[in-house]
Structure 1
Amino acid sequence: MNASDRTPADLLRSALAADPARPLVTFYDDATGERVELSVATFANWVAKTANLLQGDLNAEPGDRLALLLPAHWQSAVWLLACSSVGVVADVGGDAARADHVVAGPGRFDDGLACGGDRIALSLAPLGRRFPTPPAGYADYAVEVPGQGDRFAAYAPVDPDEPALRVGDLELTGAELVARARQDAERLGLAPGARLLSGKSYDTWEGLSAGLYAPLAAGASVVLCRNLGELSQDALAERVESERVTVTAV
């Protein structure tokens, strides 16, 4: 990764320039059997589309706060990078009543209704399926995002010294987030090409770092596992081998 990268969006751009074809996020949901693998290019395309939705359709501006009411999931990772691309603060698990926008998944729709701004619902179903009927008060992400542009250009430059992420009591600027991710990558022993398996949730910095930011900062990739407790130890060992995992964080 480039030493000049100072926001998560910068890290993604560097990853795309270095090797767009390599895997970046491999997602498992062990409650449903779902497996999704996204290359850097595919992930970046989802981020661009989502950032265009956020900036264009939702009229989000730098400094806005988005309550992200989602579990560890590949689409959650997409939203985190889309927020960084626009300059929106991703408030993970945050208070929807204090947010300008909310993105929610199953089990959190009632919480998200406290937001007076735009509300986007994700089904988190395999293959990103649409809702038969979207939850009341929400637009369906799977309906809104496909028609968005494949390239994103921010209306205003993103300031790396402005807040970018809040999780729990921790708030980080873009530059602070990147610095922490690099430190974590070094601590975990991540090098370019490494494969980190994470079963951690996205409700702490440690889970967000292991499940996205540290691998991205290192030029590595993540095998992100939701409901990992459904697996036996033998099945977990088989996954570690089949996915060529080099580092685990469970």
Structure 2
Amino acid sequence: MATLTDTLLDPILSTDPAGPRITWYDDATGARIELSAITLANWAAKTANMIRDEFGVLPGGRVAVLLPAHWQSAAVLLGAWWAGAEVVLEADPDADLALVTPDRLDDVDSVAEVAALSLDAFGAPVKDLPPGVTDYATHVRMHGDQFRSSGAGDAALDGRSASELVAAARDSAVSAGISGTDRVLSSREWTTPDDLVDGLLSVLAVGASLVQVGNPDPSIVERRVASEKITARLT
């Protein structure tokens, strides 16, 4: 069974591998990171290799992802799905692995394996992690940037299969008026499964390009629309 990541990325990698796929801004710090489909796939592959080889998560395993809307979160999600895992967006004591920001560590203290992300724009590690918690930025770099999936479990997100999620994402894109030629501006969070479908998967499912803004500054929206050649917005 094809994984959700294969379904989302394969068409983009075959048609527009080098074009911008996710451009991420943090208006609080001025940071800007842009990833092509190839670069996004490489980060997802490193994450998938880490999830499988370092943490032993097999297809059908459960991975809790407690992260904000961010380019590294996209890599984590795509990596988890590539490894065949089911993603849950909440603290789940039955999860095989949790990937979280440092302020959420107490929420996952009963999960067997935990990796923390600083979400630093330059990939800095998390300082002073407690024993037993893995630093994502340090460890993910040690893994290969190519991945061959062993298949997918029955569910990819919140009990929904990959095919159900792709269908929902394409429907969401139609409702939002997004096509494969669009450059989409969004500051939506990815807190719930529906948020994730509407804010990330809808863009990837139709081959569009996402400009994701954290801590948005309303005073520079129109300037960004012009500079990034925005053609659609998720409001």
* TM-score, scaled relative to structure 1: 0.88
- Where do 4+ consecutive residues of structure 1 move more than 4 Å? none
Q: Which runs of 5+ in 1 are unaligned?
A: none
- 1:15, 1:135 → 2: CA distance? 39
**1:247: which partner in 2?**
232
Decide whether the 8 Å contact of 2:3 with 2:152 is kept in 1: no
Select which of 115, 119, 123 maps to 1:120: 115
Q: Which runs of 5+ in 2 are unaligned?
A: none
Instruction: Spell out, residue by residue over 1:171-204, the C-alpha distance to the aligned partner (whole angstroms, 9 max, x if none).
Output: 3111100000111111112122211111111112
**1:153: which partner in 2?**
148
**2:126: which partner in 1?**
131
* CA RMSD across the alignment: 1.7
Provide the secondary structure at the position in 1 that maps to 2:75.
helix
Does residue 189 of the first structure (1) align with residue 177 of the second (2)?
Answer: yes
- 1:6, 1:106 → 2: CA distance? 29
Select which of 167, 188, 207 maps to 2:195: 207
Does residue 102 of the first structure (1) align with residue 103 of the second (2)?
Answer: no
Which residue identity does 1:72 align to in structure 2? A
Decide whether the 8 Å contact of 2:3 with 2:81 is kept in 1: no
- 1:207, 1:224 → 2: CA distance? 13
Alignment length, in residue pairs? 235
* TM-score, scaled relative to structure 2: 0.94
- 1:7, 1:84 → 2: CA distance? 6
Decide whether the 8 Å contact of 2:22 with 2:36 is kept in 1: yes
Decide whether the 8 Å contact of 1:23 with 1:39 is kept in 2: yes
Instruction: Spell out, residue by residue over 1:23-51, the C-alpha distance to the aligned partner (whole angstroms, 9 max, x if none).
Output: 11011112222111001010000001100
Does residue 78 of the first structure (1) align with residue 70 of the second (2)?
Answer: no
Decide whether the 8 Å contact of 1:20 with 1:39 is kept in 2: yes
- 2:209, 2:67 → 1: CA distance? 21
Provide the secondary structure at the position in 2 that maps to 1:110.
helix
Which residue identity does 2:9 align to in structure 1? L
Which residue identity does 1:46 align to in structure 2? W
**2:36: which partner in 1?**
39
